[in-house]
Amino acid sequence: MTQRKRALITGITGQDGSYLSELLLEKDYEVHGIIRRTSTFNTDRIDHIYVDPHNENARLFLHYGDLTDGVTMRRILEEVKPVEIYNLGAQSHVRVSFDSPEYTVDSVAMGTLRLLEAIRDYRNRTGIDVRFYQAGSSEMFGKVQEVPQKETTSFYPRSPYACAKVYAHWQTVNYRESYGIFACNGILFNHESPRRGETFVTRKITRAIARIVADQQQKLYLGNLDSKRDWGYAKDYVQAMWLMLQQEEADDYVVATGETHSIREFLDISFGYVNLNWQDYVEFDPRYLRPAEVDLLIGDPSKAKQKLGWEPSVTFEELVALMVEADLRALGLTSQHSPEASDWQDNAYIRQSVGSI
């Protein structure tokens, strides 16, 4: 009998962590996730897949820890003995990273280093190989150097978050080259879903649309509408993470759709979906501007396509529709497009907390 593969995920309670857990459970892994102790529940996105650990069929296990706490990370690694680690944990909000730069760098940059060091020692002591995935970001490209951006495009990070991700990227490369650790960087462009945090611009917009339709909100305050992003569907992107760790050799990959759209275009399509004109609702608030902006992101995913066989399955228009639809449904509303949209229905994680960022 072959032994079930064991994976450890940091950031399991986030958007990507929840989709990746579902994917790994479908593939018969035993999944271990690191969660932070908080005064309110933070496991909404994974509650639907959680089984009481006393149940003999349980394959998802949670451990308290934090990327800023290296001792605990080491202890969890020793206890779990995973064959794959997915490092998704991060203070992941770019705007917030300007307010909280030191913490962002501690969790994102130093957190990655702590994990890599733990893997190095564990491997030296036990001889067991652990494959490592680092959640890199298109934000590392920052100020436009080349269009579209690919694996060889130079980095020009424009926020504390992006600087920390660049550090984590190069440490991952260095641990691969120095110690032979199977460590991969995914350079993922923006990916969204109904589980997206409510303070990122796409979800902030789709959630506001539902609330406007429900007469619970009159205005939506946003910052820069001119920046352009390459937006894909998160469920597709976690497939690419898994594929990277199944290859013969560790490498780095851009994961993107190859299309870019401005925030204005997102507003056109999303408000248009419910026959509203966004200009009637959207107001400018300078507090949502960043001290330095990333104007244009568009990725070239040809390496991922060629080597991993990975391709996005959801178009931009479908992504916008499925997000608006999910937020409408969360408020008990449906649109005239509902029957088709149910094909993309996301299994019910929709939080309705009020986000101001």
Q: Which is nearer to ligand NDP, 14 or 271 (CB)?
A: 14
Q: Which is nearer to ligand GDR, 112 or 138 (CB)?
A: 138
Active site residue 342: no
Residue 263 binding result from ligand GDR, ligand NDP, none, given CB thresholds of 5 to 8 Å by partner type: ligand GDR
Nearest approach in angstroms of CB 331 to ligand GDR is 21
What is the distance between the alpha carbons of residues 346 and 194, in angstroms, rounded to a whole number? Answer: 7
Sequence-distant (6+) residues with CB within 8 A of 33 are 8, 9, 10, 12, 13, 17, 21, 46, 60, 61, 62, 63
Q: Which of these ranges, 6-14, 91-99, 175-183, 236-244, lies near ligand GDR under the rule CB under 6 A?
A: 91-99
Which is catalytic among the residues 29, 122, 161, 253? 161
Q: Does 11 bind ligand NDP (CB under 6 A)?
A: yes
Among 13, 87, 92, 257, binds ligand GDR (CB under 6 A): 92
Could you tell me if 76 and 63 are in contact, meaning their C-beta atoms sit under 8 angstroms apart?
yes
Among 23, 262, 288, 335, binds ligand GDR (CB under 6 A): 288
Q: Does 88 bind ligand NDP (CB under 6 A)?
A: yes
Q: Is 146 exposed, middle or buried (0-12, 13-18, 19+ CB in 10 A)?
A: exposed
What is the distance between the alpha carbons of residues 114 and 132, in angstroms, rounded to a whole number? Answer: 13
Q: Does 21 bind ligand NDP (CB under 6 A)?
A: no
The 3 state secondary structure assigned to 219-276 is CEEECCCCCEECCEEHHHHHHHHHHHCCCCCCCEEEECCCCCEEHHHHHHHHHHHCCC
Within 10 angstroms of residue 69's Cβ, the number of other Cβ atoms is 16
Nearest approach in angstroms of CB 259 to ligand GDR is 15
Q: Does 172 bind ligand NDP (CB under 6 A)?
A: no
What is the distance between the alpha carbons of residues 301 and 306, in angstroms, rounded to a whole number? Answer: 9
Q: Does 137 bind ligand GDR (CB under 6 A)?
A: yes
In the numeric block, which tokens belong to residue 66?
């934090």
What is the distance between the alpha carbons of residues 228 and 244, in angstroms, rounded to a whole number? Answer: 27
What is the distance between the alpha carbons of residues 95 and 288, in angstroms, rounded to a whole number? Answer: 8
Total residues at interface with ligand GDR (CB under 6 A)? 21
Q: Does 330 bind ligand GDR (CB under 6 A)?
A: no
Q: Does 251 bind ligand NDP (CB under 6 A)?
A: no
Q: Does 224 bind ligand GDR (CB under 6 A)?
A: yes
196, amino acid identity: R
Q: Could you tell me which of 106, 111, 113, 120 has the C-alpha nearest to residue 179?
A: 120
In the numeric block, which tokens belong to residue 32?
């271990």
Q: Which is nearer to ligand GDR, 122 or 161 (CB)?
A: 161
Residues of span 41-80 touching ligand NDP by CB under 6 A: 42, 66-68
Residue 229 binding result from ligand NDP, ligand GDR, none, given CB thresholds of 5 to 8 Å by partner type: ligand GDR
In the numeric block, which tokens belong to residue 150?
């690919």
Could you tell me if 91 and 161 are in contact, meaning their C-beta atoms sit under 8 angstroms apart?
yes
Active site residue 139: yes
Contact letters for ligand NDP, residues 103-132 (x by CB under 6 A): ----x-------------------------
Active site residue 179: no
Q: Which is nearer to ligand NDP, 67 or 76 (CB)?
A: 67
What is the distance between the alpha carbons of residues 357 and 341, in angstroms, rounded to a whole number? Answer: 28
Catalytic machinery residues? 137, 139, 161
Residues in touch with ligand NDP (CB under 6 A): 10-11, 13-17, 34, 36, 38, 42, 66-68, 88-92, 107, 135, 137, 188, 190-191, 197
Residues in touch with ligand GDR (CB under 6 A): 92, 94-95, 137-139, 189-190, 199-201, 204, 222-224, 227, 229, 263, 288, 290, 293
